[in-house]
Structure formats: C-alpha cells, structure tokens
C-alpha cells in the first residue's frame, strides 16, 4: 500500500565530498546532489582532502569552491596534525568542529598520539572535537577528556568495546557524543567476504555480536552518520583499494526499513538523523525545510545514484523510504530523482 511521510531535512555531520583534489570521485555538486537524493538538507564535510584542510588559506579555497556548487547547506570540519594551532583562532568562526585522526585511514592524517592533549588545550571555544578513535585508543581519549573536558564526538563507533567506552564516559558525565554508520548497523564481516574490497572501510565491518550490541544500545547512539566516502569502482578494484563506502543515498531507506521492522521508532530515527546532529553541531532548524518520502518498496540500484562513485554496498537490497521531494526554505530543490536547485543555492554554514 502506497503511503507518503514527511520528515524534517536530515543532517549528516560526517561526509567526504573530495572537493578539491579528488573530484573524479565526487565534487561539491555531485556530493550535495547525492545528499538531497538521500533526504539530507545539511551535510558537514571532513578535512581529509588530498591537501588536508589545516590552514585558513586552504579552508578559504575550499569554501570558495563550495559557494558556487552546493545544492544543499554545508558546513566544514577543520583538520589538524597537531602542528597548526596558530590557525585555530583564525578558522573557529568558519567551521563546525575539529577532526582528529587517531587511527590509520584514507589519506595519512594520523596524529602523534601524545599531541592529543595539546590539541584539546589549543582548540578554542565550545565547538566539538570529532575523533576517529577505534578501540586501542580509548584510554588516551578518556584521560584527555578528563584533563580537558571539551565537547567530543566519537565518529563511526562500530564495536561493542567502543560503545561500552562511550557509555562509560557518558555515565561519568563527560561531554561525549557518538555516531554510528549505517554500514556498521546493516553489514557484518560476513558481508565483507561477499563484497570484497567494496566492503573495505575504516573501521572494518564487525562480527554480528558487535552489530547486535549497537542495536541493543541504540539509546546511547546520538547520531547516525553516513561517513559517505566515495571512491571509484576502478580504485576499489585496483591494487591498493582505498577504505570507504558511499552512504548518503541509502542511509534513510535503511533506517526507515528498520523502523518498519520494529527495530527503532520514528522518534528515534528523527532524533539521530536530525535533532541530535543539529544540537551537537549548532545547526538552527528551519520550519520551511522538509522532505517527502514514499514508503513503497524500491530496490537500490547503482544506476540510480547521484554520487559519482556510482556504486553502493547495498545495491540489490529492497527497502522502503524513497525520497520523492526535498523542500529547502520553501523551495522544491529535488523532486522524483531530479535536482532542481541551481548550483550555489545551498548555504555555507
Ligand atoms: C574515509 C575516506 O575515504 O575518506 N574512509 C573510510 O573508510 N571511512 C576516511 C575516514 O572517515 O576514516
Ligand atoms: Zn569519515
């Protein structure tokens, strides 16, 4: 039976739009088009570009590129390798947060771990520090947060141990939030065997028991973040396949299908895809921004995707929840598979 629902515009605080530097994988126009197709009206882009966004100058260049291209609203996270503290006060009013890599991932932006405390001391004001922090670094994160209790968002929590750490830190009253990706909620290490390099991402897919723990403790998960990490098929099939999977266009259908199966409530879905990311990153909600979604079943196909990556680890899945219209500040910007907004009409946060 056909049914349509209306939701607030979704907010994704964790995407990699590859612009500038790797625009064959994605660019501001294709990435924000994928966002609209997935029901997102605001995305926040990570700083691990080919030239990482660690100076005001690079940030300004990135902003200038975005300004003429984006079709949804976009904010930017700043980057650090622990050697650019003089840039922090210059960029603080132009970014949403500071991203710090404590584990190896795409690009080579991992910091020297002893620098973490200095980074915390140097980051001015209240905007969140986002950590890529897998299991092995949880003691370091805890001691740093105890010494300098600044708002911290743990990205893409994927294992029981990581979520237990977040729960412990929350219960100790530390200012910590966390995100979980759809691939860690809907794929396991079993799928990784089937997907080959197309299932390679950081953190890696985990055993079923870890995934079960995430679902059983959904109340502690603040945000569902796509970690949209587009790479081309050729790269994924090549000799040194990069980590990462696209996710902007499949996250909402996956979550709405889970809701239909009774795995979470509508209220939880809206909280994790809209309300909590808005609160954590200081995005002001807009009453005239909404999405309309068809609850008919549809199959995820690579051909229909807006992302330049052109593939999804969820291709072939039959899901409910296809975005039919996106209204941004009273304007219809996406309808029936077509982006109607002109490039540059999205706002820079
Ligand atoms: C991300 C990418 O491709 O930029 N890859 C990934 O596997 N998640 C980097 C990251 O977020 O760690
Ligand atoms: Zn990421």
Say if ligand 1 is within 6 A of residue 132 CB.
Answer: yes
Residue 110's pLDDT band, with cuts at 50, 70 and 90, is confident
pTM above 0.75, yes or no: yes
Distance, CA of 143 to CA of 146 (rounded, Å)? 5
Residue 55 lies in a domain: yes
Q: Which residue has the tokens 């598979």?
A: 337
Tens of pLDDT, residue by residue over 177-235, are 999 999 999 999 999 999 999 999 999 999 999 999 999 999 999 999 999 999 999 99
Does some domain include residue 346? no
Residue 31 domain-assigned (yes or no): yes
Q: What is the Cα–Cα distance from 128 to 98, expressed in whole angstroms?
A: 7
Q: What CATH number does residue 291 fall under?
A: 3.20.20.140
Tell me, yes or no, whether 229 lies in a domain: yes
Q: Give the count of domains, the chain.
A: 1
Whether 220 lines ligand 1, by a CB cut-off of 6 Å, is no
Ligand 2 centroid to residue 16 C-alpha, Å: 6
* 116 Cβ neighbours under 8 A, 6+ residues apart: 82, 100, 102, 140, 141, 144
Estimate the crossing angle of helix 138-147 against helix 160-171, to 10 degrees: 20
| In a domain? residue 347 | no
How far away, in angstroms, is 228 Cα from ligand 1 center? 8
Domain with 299, as residue range(s), is 4-339
**Candidate from 97, 106, 242 with most ligand 1 atoms within 8 A of CB, to mutate:** 106
Domain contains 349? no
Predicted confidence (pLDDT) per residue in 264-308, tens digit: 999 999 999 999 999 999 999 899 999 999 999 999 999 999 999
Ligand 1 pocket test, candidate residues 229, 247, 307, most atoms within 8 A of CB:
229
Tell whether 117 is covered by a domain: yes
Let me know if residue 294 belongs to a domain: yes
Condensed to tens digits (0 to 9), the pLDDT of residues 138-173 reads 999 999 999 999 999 999 999 999 999 999 999 999
């Amino acid at each position: 039976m056909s049914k349509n629902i209306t939701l607030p515009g979704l907010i994704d605080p964790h995407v990699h739009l590859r612009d500038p530097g790797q625009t064959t994988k994605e660019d501001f126009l294709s990435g924000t088009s994928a966002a609209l197709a997935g029901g997102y009206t605001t995305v926040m882009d990570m700083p691990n570009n080919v030239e990482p966004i660690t100076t005001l100058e690079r940030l300004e260049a990135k902003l200038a590129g975005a300004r003429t291209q984006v079709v949804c609203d976009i904010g930017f996270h700043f980057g650090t390798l622990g050697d650019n503290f003089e840039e922090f006060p210059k960029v603080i009013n132009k970014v949403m947060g500071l991203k710090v890599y404590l584990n190896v991932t795409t690009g080579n932006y991992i910091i020297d771990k002893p620098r973490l405390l200095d980074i915390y001391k140097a980051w001015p004001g209240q905007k969140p520090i986002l950590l890529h922090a897998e299991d092995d670094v949880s003691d370091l994160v805890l001691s740093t947060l105890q010494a300098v209790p600044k708002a911290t968002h743990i990205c893409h929590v994927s294992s029981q141990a990581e979520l237990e750490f977040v729960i412990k830190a929350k219960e100790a009253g530390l200012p910590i939030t966390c995100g979980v990706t759809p691939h860690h909620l809907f794929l396991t290490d079993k799928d990784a065997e089937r997907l080959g390099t197309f299932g390679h991402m950081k953190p890696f897919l985990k055993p079923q028991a870890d995934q079960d723990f995430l679902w059983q403790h959904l109340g502690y998960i603040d945000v569902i973040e796509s970690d949209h990490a587009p790479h081309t098929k050729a790269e994924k099939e090549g000799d040194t396949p990069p980590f990462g999977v696209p996710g902007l266009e499949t996250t909402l259908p996956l979550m709405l299908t889970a809701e239909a199966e009774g795995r979470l409530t509508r209220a939880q879905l809206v909280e994790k895809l809209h309300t909590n990311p808005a609160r954590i990153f200081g995005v002001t909600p807009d009453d005239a921004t909404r999405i309309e979604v068809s609850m008919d079943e549809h199959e995820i196909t690579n051909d229909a995707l807006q992302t330049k990556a052109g593939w999804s680890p969820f291709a072939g899945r039959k899901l409910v929840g296809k975005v039919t219209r996106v209204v941004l500040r009273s304007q219809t910007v996406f309808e029936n598979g077509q982006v109607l907004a002109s490039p540059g009409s999205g706002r820079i946060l």
